[in-house]
Amino acid sequence: MLGMIAPTSRTDRSSMSFLQAVRGVSEERAPIWLMRQAGRYLPEYLAIKAKSTFLEMTRTPALAAEITLQPLRRFSIDAAIIFSDIMTPLEALGIAIEFSPGPSIAQPLRSRVQVEALALRGEIAPFVGDALRLVKAALPDNVGLIGFGGTPLTLAAYLIEGGGSKEYAKFRQFLRHDPAVVHLLLEKLTALTIAYLRMQVAAGADAIQLFDSWAGLHDEPTYREFGLPYYKRIMDGLADTGAGRMFFALGASHLMEAIAEIPCEVVSVDWRTDLRLARKQLPGRALQGNLDPAFLYAERGALAAEARRILKAGLGGAHIFNLGHGIWPNAPIDAVAHLIETVHAYKRT
């Protein structure tokens, strides 16, 4: 059996469609993966979830690796994203997080004393590294492996608010009330994130995506003060690793000029951003995106037409097809398969 499997080499991996696009090569076929593709809508994931808690699933490398690989058994997607959460590394700073199902923090951080007490205790989520190594060993040479983290500002939104929220009023009040403490927190989260992402690359991640899921809360001056400097440091801190650096911000069409300053190879845009405009605003970058996740519920012909419209808008440079935000938990599986076939069938030349 082993003799039938081609030996893995760096050269083989670097020729894969996903990594080519990450490096800016405009290819004949757009590679595709889907944000939040592991878990959620897959019955084989729900079967595991029925027997384990979310924390058990993320902390048990064999389970996390299995969940990461599940969508690859069904679909011919071009990259796998490790099953974990943006909140996972925070435990190493001594922060207790529960999931119900969104993250919740028993003691939200709203004082200098609390933030000053945050210090690294032990390794940062070593089980994520173990899971990445298991996935890498099982992954075909033509499929990329993506590690990820949350941006400091998005992590701070959860930590200060105490959990998810529509308006993040407490977070936004605290940002204005005590900006110096917020900066101290962002400093600590930045150092944590650089170490955590470097660990993921060392464990085999070909690319890293930074999720700025709450970018849309901020106006540009606020984003330039509390977001951008830290994101630049994180991406600069990964430069020597050779891993592809991908940045995703939700609801950030108004922040594109600032985002264009982030050193990274790929900018992932949400469904409200016109890819042709993003191409002009982000010269030389590979673009990723940006199908509205709700289109997976459209009639087949309408879904395919919308996918082709996006593929056309993505011409003129490297394009990695993706959704404009994470796939929804009840997404129809046959629509996902149809989308992937449609994208792979489209010739960009």
Q: Which residues bind ligand CP3 (CB under 6 A)?
A: 36-40, 54, 81, 83-86, 99, 101-103, 148, 164, 211, 213, 250, 326
**Least distance in Å: CB of 214 to ligand CP3?**
7
**Least distance in Å: CB of 205 to ligand CP3?**
13
Q: Residue 38 or 135: which CB sits closer to ligand CP3?
A: 38
Q: Give the integer Cα–Cα distance in Å for 119 and 3.
A: 49
Q: Give the integer Cα–Cα distance in Å for 160 and 250.
A: 19
Terminal Cα distance for the chain, rounded: 38
DSSP code for 163: B
**Least distance in Å: CB of 41 to ligand CP3?**
9
Q: What is the largest CA-CA distance in the chain?
A: 64
Query: What is the dihedral sign for C-alpha 127, 194, 203, 50?
Result: positive
Q: Residue 204 or 326: which CB sits closer to ligand CP3?
A: 326
Q: What 3-state class would DSSP assign to 270?
A: coil
**Least distance in Å: CB of 99 to ligand CP3?**
5
**Least distance in Å: CB of 30 to ligand CP3?**
20
Q: Residue 99 or 127: which CB sits closer to ligand CP3?
A: 99
Q: Residue 148 or 174: which CB sits closer to ligand CP3?
A: 148
Q: Residue 150 or 314: which CB sits closer to ligand CP3?
A: 150
Q: Which of 85, 88, 325 is nearest to 213 (CA)?
A: 325
Q: Give the integer Cα–Cα distance in Å for 273 and 320.
A: 15
Burial (CB count <10 Å: 0-12, 13-18, 19+), residue 232: middle
The H-assigned helical ranges of 15-124 are: 17-22, 43-49, 54-59, 61-74, 112-116
Asked if 214 and 168 touch (Cβ cutoff 8 Å), the reply is: yes
| DSSP strands (E only) in 82-161 | 97-99, 103-105, 144-150
**Least distance in Å: CB of 19 to ligand CP3?**
19
Q: Residue 155 or 304: which CB sits closer to ligand CP3?
A: 155
Q: Residue 33 or 346: which CB sits closer to ligand CP3?
A: 33
The CA angle 308-310-316, to the nearest 5 degrees, is: 105
**Least distance in Å: CB of 304 to ligand CP3?**
24
Q: Residue 17 or 213: which CB sits closer to ligand CP3?
A: 213
**Least distance in Å: CB of 112 to ligand CP3?**
26
